[in-house]
Amino acid sequence: MPEVQYKFSQTTIDTNNRGIDELLQFYHFAKAQPPYTKITLNLSNLTKFDANLSAVLLAINHRIKRQKKYLFVEIPGHINVLFRNGFVGHMQGKGDDPAIFDNRDSTIPLKTFMKSEDESFCSYLKKDFFGQRGLDDVPAQHKTALRSHFEEIFTNVGLHAETEELVYTCGQFFPVEKVLKFSLLDLGVGFLKKIQPVSNGKVTCDREAIDWATFGGNSTKDKKLHGPGGSGLKDIRDYCSQNSGSLHIVSGTCYWTIVNGKLFSYVLSRPFEGVMVNLIFRNI
Amino acid sequence: MKDLKIIDILQSPVAISPSAGLKVFEVINSFINKEESIRLFFDGIEDCTTAFCNATIGKLFMRYSQEKLKQLLIFPDLDQFPIWKDKIERSIQLGTDENMRESHQQNLTDLLAS
């Protein structure tokens, strides 16, 4: 069995365009390997890995496995959050085993859902996510509003990203900085492939597809079926602005983010095959 | 006047998916069609999204006139749920007002230009 090693070129994997680019470069490295290769991802050079992004690593693992390759992740002691949030359990094939999850602090578990499992997702948010003791001091009305935003993201990904594949989700609360990070992604067709044919030629690239999806530009057919468009993004945008937060969406080669009401987009070096949404809330 | 509880229609406190919204829409629509008035209750609902509100309330306001729905459909306990009240009000605006829908698109254009 051929074996290859990989290390990230940066020492931190943060929830931003650079961190996501690093993860995608790794995925495309793994994708280029022949079947039955043992791929070892060594995290020893990292000083920090945003635990919410373990959802991305798990999705990469599932995709690599389907390509008949084997991913092993070497995790140094200082990134032990990946043990505590269930990532290692998932990699060992134990799935969403609650026994693995250690809820001593602000760690929020890594979970997978079918997009039809809206009740399970809501239950996860209530019990596992906002039930964490680390979030005990967050006022109830804040929790309700945050939960509502995460549910908006879950339903939007279900609406726009045509997939029967799993939805991966994970969060991380940083109590000292009072920052909450949340990631949700799928490995569907991405926005562009689904939206391009129904946009009457208006949508031609990944950036425009994200704009279309997030601002509720549903087709006439969708409006007749689902009622008027309106993705709930405005609420999320307003809430992010009030809490120094930000909304980040990745699809194809576009990294799209709204910070303080301003939109920025970056072109990633390699495409993401699906849709990823990251939310960062500060002053929680 | 018929009292309807969303939780009874869905058999669940979770009202987030468009398909759940359409289920509630179909029930309400069957009464509105017959000019019967409804009191729709959110009591017991724990989760609610824009997609649900658009598929239920937005779609009703696209189909029927605002005057008619104001007479036939009321939400007696919505004031207790301010976050969802905002979503419902926006769905009503989007369902009622073609200009509002166009304005929604204009916001997108403005944002892209910023």
Residues B46-85: tens digit of each pLDDT: 999 988 999 999 999 999 999 999 999 999 999 998 888 9
Distance from CA of residue A242 to its chain's centroid?
22
Q: Would you state the pLDDT for residue A265? A: 94
Residues A85, A101: contact at Cβ < 8 Å? yes
Provide φ and ψ at A257, rounded to 5°: -145, 145
- Tell me the two tokens of residue A260: 């303080």
| Residues of chain A found within 8 Å of residue B104, distances taken between Cβ atoms | 215-216, 229-230
> Higher-confidence residue: A76 or B100?
A76
- Which helix (H) or strand (E) segment holds residue B60: the answer is helix B59-63
Q: Would you state the pLDDT for residue A143? A: 84
User: In the predicted model, what is the mean pLDDT of residues A112-127?
Assistant: 91
Minimal CA separation from A228 to chain B, in Å: 6
Q: Would you state the pLDDT for residue A216? A: 52
Q: Would you state the pLDDT for residue A197? A: 79
pTM above 0.90, yes or no: no
Specify the length of chain B in residues: 114
Helix H segments across chain A? Answer: 17-31, 54-66, 81-84, 87-91, 118-123, 140-160, 190-195, 206-214, 220-226, 233-242
Q: Would you state the pLDDT for residue A232? A: 67
Is B104 close to A211, i.e. CB distance below 8 A?
no
Minimal CA separation from B3 to chain A, in Å: 23
Pairing of β A262-281 and β A246-259: antiparallel
| Percent of chain A surpassing pLDDT 70 | 88
* Three-class secondary structure of residue A209 per DSSP: helix
Residues B81, B51: contact at Cβ < 8 Å? no
| Percent of chain A surpassing pLDDT 90 | 49
User: A16 pLDDT exceeds 70?
Assistant: yes
Q: Would you state the pLDDT for residue A220? A: 34
Rg (CA), chain B: 15
Q: Would you state the pLDDT for residue B51? A: 87
B49 contacts chain A (CB < 8 A)? yes
Q: Which among A184, A101, A171 has a CA at the least distance from the CA of A138?
A: A171
User: In the predicted model, what is the mean pLDDT of residues B89-100?
Assistant: 79
User: A266 pLDDT exceeds 80?
Assistant: yes
Asked which of A75-84, A150-159, A263-272 is least confident by mean pLDDT, the reply is A150-159
Q: Which among A254, A252, A277, A278 has a CA at the least distance from the CA of A265?
A: A254
Instruction: Please name the amino acid found at residue B86.
Output: D
Q: B81-92 b/e with 16+ CB inside 10 Å = b?
A: beebeebbebbb
- Tell me the two tokens of residue B88: 């419902």
Q: Would you state the pLDDT for residue A198? A: 74
Pairing of β A167-174 and β A179-186: antiparallel
Provide φ and ψ at A143, rounded to 5°: -60, -40
If you ran DSSP here, which 8-state letter would residue A34 be given?
P
| Residues of chain A found within 8 Å of residue B49, distances taken between Cβ atoms | 148, 151-152, 155, 232
Q: Would you state the pLDDT for residue B15? A: 95
| Percent of chain B surpassing pLDDT 70 | 85
B23 contacts chain A (CB < 8 A)? no
Q: Which among B92, B97, B14, B1 has a CA at the least distance from the CA of B49?
A: B14
Is B108 close to A263, i.e. CB distance below 8 A?
no
User: In the predicted model, what is the mean pLDDT of residues A149-167?
Assistant: 78
Q: Would you state the pLDDT for residue A130? A: 85
Q: Which among B2, B65, B51, B56 has a CA at the least distance from the CA of B29?
A: B56
Q: Would you state the pLDDT for residue A4? A: 98
Q: Would the CA dihedral through A201, A206, A212, A213 be positive or negative? A: positive
Count of other CB atoms within 10 angstroms of residue A159:
19
User: In the predicted model, what is the mean pLDDT of residues A49-75?
Assistant: 96
**pLDDT tens digits, residue range A223-241?**
667 677 665 666 777 777 7
User: A101 pLDDT exceeds 70?
Assistant: no
Minimal CA separation from B2 to chain A, in Å: 24
Q: Would you state the pLDDT for residue A218? A: 47
What is chain A's mean pLDDT, rounded?
A: 86
Shortest CA distance from B87: residue in chain A: A232
User: What is the rounded distance in angstroms from the CA atom of residue A205 to the CA atom of residue A267?
Assistant: 11
> Higher-confidence residue: A100 or B63?
B63
User: What is the rounded distance in angstroms from the CA atom of residue B25 to the CA atom of residue A180?
Assistant: 35
* Three-class secondary structure of residue A151 per DSSP: helix
Residues A192, A205: contact at Cβ < 8 Å? yes
- Which helix (H) or strand (E) segment holds residue B110: the answer is helix B98-113
User: B37 pLDDT exceeds 70?
Assistant: yes
Count CA atoms closer than 13 A to A87's CA, side-chain side.
30
